[in-house]
Chains A and B, each alone.
Chain A
Amino acid sequence: MSQQQLQYKTSPYRLLKEKVASTTMLILTLSALLLVVLIAVGLVIKSMPILEEKSLVDLVFGSSWKPMKGEFGFLPFIAGTISVTLVAIVLALPISLLTAIFLTEYSKDWVKKAVFPVLDILAGIPSVIYGLWGVLIIVPWISEKLAPKFVEFSTGYSVLAGGVVLGVMVLPLMVSLFVEIFSSTPAELRQASQSLGATKWQTTKKVMLKHTRAGIFASVMLSISRAMGETIAVLMVCGNIAQMPESLLDGAYPLPALLANNFGEMMSVPIYESALMFAALILFVVVVIFNILSRIILHRLQKNS
């Protein structure tokens, strides 16, 4: 008996490995968390100089951007970011919702097999190429065909162009998120509705969309966060004019574009660098607030259903 016990005694190395493995993973997980905090702290420190010189309200709600004269109002950029993102989501949401409904509820298997790889390709195209497509096709179309019907003149580099390009970019993401959510609806729920004599469309509209509304909301929020940070493609078609966009055909200047265009240049002016860092901080805070808000709303939705 004692002989046997000795033989099967656990090797100390086995337990040691277990400890090492779990600690390593814990550290790696924590470092991801720490990174977020570090980025926030770094941005705050870097933007301190401009915060000391000007009040927060002036910076966020000021609409005059003249760095050489020392006027730093970020409102045009915030408005630019929000309007371009909004246009993108408004364009992409109905298309992606209906596409996802078609793919999960109506289409035959071979259609799905054909469409999903195409969506993956769409999602994998580098954003520069979307930008080029915008410059070559969307921008001329707006300035030559669409804009003359509404305003006297537009270059075509506008909120609308940015929204269209961004909308096409988030489309594959939204479709695949929606498809995932819709296919997680229990089959019994559909059958329950259909065995009352409901058509597929009635079932989709009244039962499935209602059942999945929390998920739909979460995916839209995720897409918005993604869209807000998109830089290159938007920068190429938005016009990059620091003004409050008054219509869809006006040029705009989203925050990421401001950073990408100016960082590295004019770094000789310290206050300017600090201003750009503050722009990054605003973007960061907007995205964080957005995430927190969407979590709260999501929680409410789930509790109610």
Chain B
Amino acid sequence: MDIIKQGMFRPNQKFCTNANADAKIEVQDLNVNIGTNHILKDVNLTIHNQAITCIIGPSGCGKSTLLRSFNRLLEDTAKTKITGKVIVDGDDIYEKGCEITHVRRKMGLLSQKPCPLPMSIFDNISYGCKIHGIRGKKKLAMVVKHYLEAAGLWNEVKDRLHTPANRMSLGQQQRLCLARGLAVEPQFILADESTSALDPISSKIIEDLFVKLKAEYGIVMVTHTLRQALRIADYVVFMYMGEVIEQGTAEEVFKNPQHELTQKYLSGAFS
């Protein structure tokens, strides 16, 4: 399988070409309050392009909230207050006048449970493209084929592209969601425990895909499984009670954790 060459993932080159390999997500003093709960406390971190960053930490420490703040999905929840900056490729996404749909297109989200839209497999992929103004049957068919191939799904579904997407297996659905996200040409992929609902084989396939995809995308992954982080992470962020305790390359954090809490978490003292 030699699909992944530079530029291969973006046959249209309609939006960002990802030419800027130094594009980063920089989070500065991010605070999130939902109701009276202070969920994220003064978060500062940097996420690199063309690498897999794993966010680890015990349940309820704000991992998912942090991830969702990267594509402004938090705002729709009632009584949410967000302060601080999230700078993606030089632009603060929380600045006034920043177009929210553009931000979300740039930051593809892969959620925990696969969530195919209520339409056919073909329409699931072409939906995002149509929204962003790609027209023409030929072009759409090309895009659909391309991204299904990229997600390793083309051979499995090429004969039933027009059947409802929710008839596929769970693992296939998740790969479809990934392909759907890639089809709008994002710069970063935000994965929110994307393998936790899948069987081991399907999650292995997704994991392998991520490793391939990092040649062209920055991948941020929230995970509950330490072993998964050990396998694929280039950078690791450890969070506890809404604070970033430690961040660094995988080697630094796993082999030589500086903070006591990180040591305890990695040794399995709590989870």
Question: At the interface, yes or no: A94 with Cβ under 8 Å from chain B?
Answer: no
Partner of B131, one of A189, A190, A198: A198
CB-contacts of B64-103 with A (<8 A): 71, 73, 76, 78, 101-102
Complex formed: what's the CA distance from A202 to B177 in Å?
A: 18
Does the CB pair A196–B115 fall under 8 Å? no
| Pairwise interchain contact A196-B105, C-beta atoms closer than 8 A | yes
Q: Are B184 and A194 in contact (CB under 8 A)?
A: no
- Does any Cβ of B come within 8 Å of A295's Cβ? no
- CB contacts (< 8 Å) of B268 on chain A: these are none
Q: Is B242 an interface residue (CB 8 A)?
A: no
Query: Which of chain B's residues 121-139 have a Cβ closer than 8 Å to chain A?
Result: 127-128, 131-132
Tell whether A196 pairs with B184 under 8 Å between CB atoms, given A211-B118, A305-B164: yes
8 residue pairs, one from A and one from B, having the closest CB atoms: A197-B105, A195-B109, A196-B128, A197-B101, A211-B118, A192-B115, A188-B115, A197-B104
Total interface residues in chain A, CB < 8 Å: 21
Assembly CA distance A226 to B232 (angstroms): 60
CA distance A109 to B79 in the complex (A): 10
- Residue in contact with B78 in the complex, picked from A109, A199, A210, A305, CB distance below 8 Å: A109
**Which of A191, A192, A202, A206 has the most C-beta atoms of chain B within 10 angstroms of its own C-beta?**
A192
Max chain B Cβ within 10 angstroms of own Cβ: one of A109, A192, A195, A211: A195
Complex alpha-carbon distance, A207 and B131, angstroms: 12
CA distance A190 to B77 in the complex (A): 12
B113 part of interface (Cβ distance < 8 Å): yes
Q: Report Cα–Cα, A109/B80, bound state, in Å.
A: 13
B181 in the interface, Cβ–Cβ < 8 Å? yes
Residues of B within 8 A of A12 (CB): none
Report which of B73, B118, B131 forms a contact with A210, defined as CB distance below 8 A: B118
A197 touches B102 (CB 8 A): yes
A195 touches B104 (CB 8 A): yes
* Interface assignment of B175: CB less than 8 Å from any CB of chain A: no
Pair B101/A199 contact, Cβ less than 8 Å: yes
Q: How far is the CA of A195 from the CA of B109 in the complex (A)?
A: 6
CB contact under 8 A between A188 and B113, given known A197-B128, A206-B127:
yes
Size category of the binding interface on chain B: 20 to 34
Q: How far is the CA of A206 from the CA of B111 in the complex (A)?
A: 20
Task: Please name all residues of chain B whose beta carbon is closer than 8 Å to the beta carbon of A207 when the two chains form the complex.
Answer: 117-118
Contacts of A294 in B (CB 8 A): none
List A contacts of B180 (CB < 8 A).
196
Please report A residues at the B interface, Cβ cutoff 8 Å: 109, 186, 188-199, 202, 206-207, 210-211, 304-305
Binding site for A on B (CB under 8 A): 71, 73, 76, 78, 101-102, 104-105, 107-109, 111, 113, 115, 117-119, 127-128, 131-132, 164, 177, 180-181, 184
Residues on B with beta carbons closer than 8 Å to the beta carbon of A195: 71, 73, 104, 107-109, 181
Whether the pair A192, B117 counts as a contact (CB closer than 8 A) is yes
Q: Taking the nearest CB of chain A, how far is it from the CB of B246, in angstroms? A: 28
Q: How far is the CB of B188 from chain A (nearest CB, A)?
A: 12
Report Cα–Cα, A192/B128, bound state, in Å.
10
Q: Which residues of A contact B109 (CB under 8 A)?
A: 191-192, 195
Cross-chain pairs A/B with CB under 8 angstroms, 6 sampled: A188-B113, A195-B73, A195-B107, A196-B180, A198-B127, A210-B117
- Choose among A197, A210, A304 the residue that contacts B184 (Cβ–Cβ < 8 A): A197
Residues of A within 8 A of B105 (CB): 196-197
**Quick one: closest B residue to A213, CB to CB?**
B118
A172 to chain B, nearest CB (A): 25
Give chain A residues whose Cβ lies under 8 Å from the Cβ of B181. 195-196
Which residues of the other chain, B, contact A196 by a CB distance below 8 angstroms? Answer: 104-105, 108, 127-128, 131, 180-181, 184
Q: 11 more A-B contacts (CB under 8 A) besides A194-B73, A194-B104, A198-B128?
A: A188-B111, A188-B113, A191-B73, A191-B111, A192-B111, A192-B177, A193-B127, A195-B71, A195-B104, A197-B128, A198-B131
Q: Pick the contact of A189 from B115, B128, B132 — CB < 8 Å? A: B115
Instruction: Tell me which residues across on chain A come within 8 A of B73, comparing CB atoms.
Output: 191, 194-195
Report the separation of the CA atoms of residues A191 and B78 in the bound assembly, to the nearest whole angstrom: 15
Closest to B102 in A: A197
Which residues of chain B are near A304, meaning CB under 8 Å? 164
